[in-house]
């Protein structure tokens, strides 16, 4: 006996997108210190984006805040890379090669950087809110690298 062919499309699981914000981070157990650090860094990034008219949109996600251009993450602030209750918050950006802050003449306080050559990702770790404006030229390069558009 042959099994009749189904004419109905296969069922697909639907994922519900959660709304993440400060309250959700607290509820999930992220420390207040880490939330405050993230808030301060986000305010710094938002100011740079606004001042430089970089067409990206920040969106709260589970433990990170990506800045989108179209469907691409240009850069993001990550709460979840290190411990939820201690350590650093990191800013991750795409670039074609590892930047050298000293050679670029950029002075900014941070704890460490990490280069992921396989994905062209560069992360800079912060354990306190600092002025991110010295990173502006690099942030613009990151945008141009990801989108292919000049600012």
- Return per-residue pLDDT of the chain as tens, 151 residues: 666 565 655 565 555 566 777 788 888 888 888 899 999 999 999 999 999 999 999 998 888 999 999 888 899 999 887 765 567 899 999 888 899 988 888 999 999 899 999 999 999 999 999 999 999 998 998 899 999 999 8
Task: Fill in the DSSP letter of residue 36.
Answer: H
Q: What is the pLDDT of residue 7?
A: 62
Q: What is the pLDDT of residue 132?
A: 95
Q: Is residue 12 part of a domain?
A: no
Q: Is residue 63 part of a domain?
A: yes
What range defines the domain where residue 80 resides?
28-147
Alpha helix stretches (DSSP H) within the chain: 22-27, 32-52, 101-104, 136-147
Q: Is residue 5 part of a domain?
A: no
Q: Is residue 2 part of a domain?
A: no
Whole-angstrom distance, CA of residue 80 vs CA of residue 34? 10
End-to-end CA distance of the chain: 66
Q: Which residues contact 79 (CB under 8 A, 6 or more apart)?
A: 25, 30, 34, 35, 38, 63, 64, 89
Task: Give the CA-trace dihedral at 113, 40, 69, 14, to 10 degrees.
Answer: 100
Q: What is the pLDDT of residue 90?
A: 92
Q: What is the pLDDT of residue 83?
A: 62
Q: How many domains does the chain have?
A: 1
Q: Is residue 92 part of a domain?
A: yes
Q: Which residues contact 106 (CB under 8 A, 6 or more apart)?
A: 134, 135, 137, 138
Q: What is the pLDDT of residue 79?
A: 86
Q: Is residue 138 part of a domain?
A: yes
Q: Is residue 134 part of a domain?
A: yes
pTM of the model: 0.81
Task: Fill in the DSSP letter of residue 117.
Answer: T
Q: Is residue 1 part of a domain?
A: no
Task: Give the CA-trace dihedral at 64, 67, 72, 74, to 10 degrees.
Answer: -100
Whole-angstrom distance, CA of residue 20 vs CA of residue 85? 17
């Amino acid at each position: 006996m042959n099994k009749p062919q189904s004419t109905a499309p296969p069922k697909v699981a639907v994922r519900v997108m959660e709304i993440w914000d400060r309250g959700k981070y607290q509820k999930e157990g992220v420390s207040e210190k880490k939330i405050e650090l993230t808030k301060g860094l986000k305010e710094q990034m938002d100011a740079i984006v606004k001042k430089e008219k970089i067409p990206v949109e920040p969106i709260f996600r589970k433990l990170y805040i990506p800045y989108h251009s179209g469907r691409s993450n240009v850069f993001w602030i990550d709460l979840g890379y290190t411990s939820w209750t201690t350590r650093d918050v990191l800013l991750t950006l795409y670039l074609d090669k590892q930047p050298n802050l000293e050679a670029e003449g950029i002075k900014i306080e941070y704890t460490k950087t990490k280069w992921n050559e396989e994905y062209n990702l560069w992360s800079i770790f912060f354990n306190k809110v600092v002025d991110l404006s010295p990173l502006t030229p690099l942030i613009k390069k990151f945008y141009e690298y990801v989108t292919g558009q000049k600012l």
